[in-house]
Chain A
């Protein structure tokens, strides 16, 4: 069975500082991994995805994520946080080796960037 863990309910960071939002996953095969962002009263927006190859994935709005197979992690990062980055972030995983599997989401991490 697939699962995703986002161990932090909330991450607080000052504007201009680097940010990391953590995600670990579990699949029986190899994963497709995704990050989505949700702003208040909005739907989820796709940020980036890991398919294969380079472990560092670059996405929208200056975000990037690092895939680490040995640690089964896919942490979201940004070198310099903006107040406008404050939102709810979801990590999601799908097993790419076993046909159709639903996209499994983590419980979300709220990012709060202070001025």
Chain B
């Protein structure tokens, strides 16, 4: 099992450019999440998905869009990148959204917007 994988690992964008981050999991998990990690702020939830074809907003959704066309994939899009979106992005998945199920994290994507 590869677990949770993310592509790309690093990316540099200019302000206004767009990009898509891809997350894939091979654990047959229903629930998937996108977080951003910024120094001194822990992890903040951007969007999440409770199943194929469904998505919902998290804590900091502005400027991001997501899609879950296949159960194993969860895409995070930036339509017009801003310097404030410079961060490390983590994807995670879990068996269930409720209950004591831990989340499994990918290795992260380091994004710099200049």
Are A and B physically bound partners?
yes
The interface of chain A, by Cβ under 8 A from chain B, is 4, 32, 34, 36, 41-46, 49, 51, 90, 96, 99-100, 102-103, 105-108
Asked if A96 meets B100 with Cβ closer than 8 Å, knowing A102-B58, A102-B59, the reply is yes
Question: Cβ of B95 < 8 Å from any Cβ of A?
Answer: no
In the complex, given contacts A43-B108, A45-B105, what are 5 additional A-B residue pairs having Cβ atoms less than 8 angstroms apart? Answer: A41-B108, A42-B107, A44-B105, A99-B98, A106-B42
- With a cutoff of 8 Å between Cβ atoms, the chain A residues found around residue B42 in the complex are 4, 90, 105-108
Asked if A90 meets B43 with Cβ closer than 8 Å, knowing A42-B107, A43-B107, A43-B108, the reply is yes
- With a cutoff of 8 Å between Cβ atoms, the chain B residues found around residue A34 in the complex are 102
Interface size on B, residues (CB 8 A): 22
- In the bound complex, CA of A46 to CA of B58 (Å): 21
- With a cutoff of 8 Å between Cβ atoms, the chain B residues found around residue A107 in the complex are 40-42
Asked if A105 meets B98 with Cβ closer than 8 Å, knowing A42-B107, A43-B4, A43-B105, the reply is no
Asked whether B106 lies within 8 Å of A103 as measured between CB atoms, the reply is no
- With a cutoff of 8 Å between Cβ atoms, the chain A residues found around residue B78 in the complex are none
Distance of A27 from chain B, by nearest CB (Å): 14
A-B contact number at CB 8 A = 48
- In the bound complex, CA of A45 to CA of B4 (Å): 11
Distance of A106 from chain B, by nearest CB (Å): 6
- In the bound complex, CA of A4 to CA of B97 (Å): 19
Chain B residue at minimal CB-CB distance from A103 = B103
7 shortest interchain CB distances as A-B pairs: A43-B105, A105-B42, A44-B105, A51-B100, A107-B42, A46-B102, A105-B43
Contact with A along B84-107 (1 / 0, CB 8 A): 000000101000011110111111
- In the bound complex, CA of A32 to CA of B100 (Å): 6
- In the bound complex, CA of A51 to CA of B45 (Å): 22
Asked whether A44 lies within 8 Å of B98 as measured between CB atoms, the reply is no
- In the bound complex, CA of A65 to CA of B80 (Å): 43
- In the bound complex, CA of A106 to CA of B41 (Å): 8
Chain A residue at minimal CB-CB distance from B9 = A41
- In the bound complex, CA of A26 to CA of B72 (Å): 33
